[in-house]
């Protein structure tokens, strides 16, 4: 541990060690090149953070630890020409640029802040707090754990909803294909026979004719609607309306709220554990939350706390968070351990999110199959009814 602190506080020693090791530092990366790459994924950032924390815990100097991480990134991309490999190379360039800045006397937090496309505000703030307290490796472990938690819960929700979503898309595609290309050829025989048709068949012919005639128009209209929705979402008012609507949707609204509360609670807890003041922690958490309505509520909390109110009352005044959140935070304030209370909230909602995702999967799959079965059964019935009537007439 002393070796790590010395390298954080004395850049000259780090420079000597680097020169002695004969390592090579790259020219600072061109930030304009970042536009050619997708944003570094949370998984990559988590892996990088944990590797750096483990190296620092082993008393490796900071500069050498950064170079080791960059070397590992380049080794991982050897022989790979995928998009992910290109992002790893880009991240290695970033790390080597950070190492160059540290070597020239900059603090790690300052060097990280030069690359906001990779390291968000909360990351830089926690690193700065870790350096100030001389406990950088522990803060990095907290960061890695938090990022890993976020990855795990997001992956569980996505995996739980992926299969029903694919089933719904495939089912809709099959129905459109049947109505647009298969049914018209079959029903044309009944129309040419000039016979009175049962109502299910007449209804099916009408729907089929509409689908076949207006399908190109509907596709164009759908694409235009998606582009218009995307453009509206990029505006401040449009995103606020969309985020408010998300929270009001049945079932999914509560799931989104729980996801954001878990993310906010864990973020605040880690920031406070790292020694960041509550007002700064709330400001950072506001920028991390994805839902603008919840972010606005965190801003209201920060204003209330800045005026002398306690966190529990500030949370209650937003009228957005569940009552149990306020009570758990109030209990933590009374015991003087609000960080543990916030972590308990995050763990509680992570568990509820996992259960909700599994429940949705178990309910959506049979529901989609049932709807698909009813639609296909109606199509088959509408086709077979006139055939039965013709056979009986003969």
Residues 334, 235 share a domain: yes
Query: How many angstroms separate the CA atoms of 260 and 165, rounded?
Result: 22
How far does the chain reach from its first CA to its final CA, in angstroms? 95
Q: What does the pLDDT read at residue 79?
A: 52
Residues 105, 157 share a domain: no
Percent of the chain with pLDDT over 70: 87
Q: Is residue 199 part of a domain?
A: yes
Residue 307 has pLDDT above 80, yes or no: yes
Give the closest residue to 287 by CA, choosing from 268, 273, 272, 315: 268
Segment 323-380, tens digit of pLDDT: 999 999 999 999 888 999 999 999 999 889 888 888 887 888 888 888 888 888 888 8
Question: Which segment of 142-146, 205-209, 337-341 scores lowest on mean pLDDT?
Answer: 205-209
Residues 200, 268 share a domain: yes
Residues 238, 191 share a domain: yes
Residue at which a domain ends, from 86, 119, 152: 119
What tokens were used for 183? 């049914």
Query: How many angstroms separate the CA atoms of 138 and 128, rounded?
Result: 12
Residues 157, 105 share a domain: no
Q: What does the pLDDT read at residue 39?
A: 67
Average pLDDT over residues 71-80: 73
Query: How many angstroms separate the CA atoms of 284 and 270, rounded?
Result: 11
The rounded mean pLDDT for the chain is: 81
Q: Is residue 340 part of a domain?
A: yes
Q: Quick check: helix, strand or coil at residue 64?
A: helix
C-beta atoms surrounding 390 within 10 Å: 13
Query: How many angstroms separate the CA atoms of 257 and 245, rounded?
Result: 12
Residues 308, 242 share a domain: yes
Q: Is residue 190 part of a domain?
A: yes
Q: Is residue 125 part of a domain?
A: no
Question: Which segment of 157-161, 293-297, 303-307 scores lowest on mean pLDDT?
Answer: 157-161
Q: Is residue 127 part of a domain?
A: no
Q: What does the pLDDT read at residue 394?
A: 59
Q: What does the pLDDT read at residue 80?
A: 53
Residues 249, 198 share a domain: yes
What is the residue range of 318's domain? 140-394
Write down how long the chain is: 394
Q: Is residue 371 part of a domain?
A: yes
Residue at which a domain ends, from 73, 88, 119: 119
Residues 333, 223 share a domain: yes
Q: Is residue 132 part of a domain?
A: no
Q: Is residue 364 part of a domain?
A: yes
Percent of the chain with pLDDT over 90: 24
Residue 217 has pLDDT above 50, yes or no: yes
pTM over 0.85: no
Average pLDDT over residues 159-184: 81
Residues 113, 213 share a domain: no
Q: How many domains does the chain have?
A: 2
Give the closest residue to 64 by CA, choosing from 116, 123, 24: 24
Query: How many angstroms separate the CA atoms of 329 and 339, rounded?
Result: 9
Residues 387, 320 share a domain: yes
Residues 180, 323 share a domain: yes
Contact 130, 47 (CB under 8 A): no
Banded model confidence at residue 3, pLDDT cuts 50, 70, 90: very low
Query: How many angstroms separate the CA atoms of 335 and 302, rounded?
Result: 21
Residues 168, 57 share a domain: no
Contact 277, 270 (CB under 8 A): no
> For 83-155, where are the E strands, in sequence order?
none
Segment 30-54, tens digit of pLDDT: 444 444 444 678 888 899 999 999 9
Segment 109-135, tens digit of pLDDT: 999 999 988 898 888 888 988 888 888
Torsion of CA 203, 208, 214, 215, to 10 degrees: 140
């Amino acid at each position: 541990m002393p070796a790590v602190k010395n390298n954080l506080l004395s850049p000259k020693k780090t420079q000597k060690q680097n020169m002695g090791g004969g390592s090579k530092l790259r020219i600072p990366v061109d930030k304009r090149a970042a536009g050619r790459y997708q944003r570094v994924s949370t998984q990559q950032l988590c892996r990088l953070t944990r590797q750096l924390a483990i190296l620092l815990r082993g008393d490796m100097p900071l500069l050498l630890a950064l170079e080791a991480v960059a070397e590992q990134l380049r080794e991982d991309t050897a022989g790979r020409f995928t998009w992910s490999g290109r992002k790893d190379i880009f991240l290695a360039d970033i790390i080597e640029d950070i190492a160059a800045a540290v070597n020239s006397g900059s603090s790690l937090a300052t060097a990280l802040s030069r690359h906001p496309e990779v390291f968000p505000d909360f990351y830089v703030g926690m690193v700065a707090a870790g350096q100030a307290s001389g406990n950088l490796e522990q803060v990095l472990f907290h960061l890695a754990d938090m990022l890993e938690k976020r990855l795990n819960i997001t992956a569980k929700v996505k995996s739980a909803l992926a299969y029903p979503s694919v089933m719904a898309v495939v089912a809709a595609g099959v129905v459109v294909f049947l109505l647009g290309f298969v049914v018209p050829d079959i029903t044309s025989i009944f129309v040419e026979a000039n016979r009175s048709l049962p109502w299910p068949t007449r209804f099916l012919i009408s729907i089929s004719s509409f689908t076949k005639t207006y399908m190109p128009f509907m596709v164009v209209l759908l694409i235009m609607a998606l582009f218009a929705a995307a453009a509206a979402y990029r505006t401040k008012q449009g995103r606020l309306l969309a985020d408010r609507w998300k929270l009001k949707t049945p079932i999914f609204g509560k799931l989104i709220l729980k996801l954001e509360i878990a993310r906010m609670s864990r973020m605040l807890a880690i920031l406070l554990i790292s020694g960041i003041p509550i007002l700064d922690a709330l400001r950072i958490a506001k920028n991390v939350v994805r839902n603008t309505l919840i972010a606005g509520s965190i801003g209201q909390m920060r204003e209330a706390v800045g005026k002398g109110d306690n966190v529990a009352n500030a949370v209650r005044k937003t009228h957005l968070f569940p009552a149990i959140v306020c009570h758990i935070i109030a209990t933590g304030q009374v015991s003087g351990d609000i960080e543990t209370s916030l972590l308990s909230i995050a763990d509680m909602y992570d568990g509820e999110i996992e259960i909700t995702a599994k429940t949705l999967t178990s309910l959506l799959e049979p529901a989609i199959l049932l709807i698909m079965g009813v639609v296909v059964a109606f199509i088959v019935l509408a086709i077979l009814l006139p055939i039965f009537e013709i056979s009986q007439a003969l």
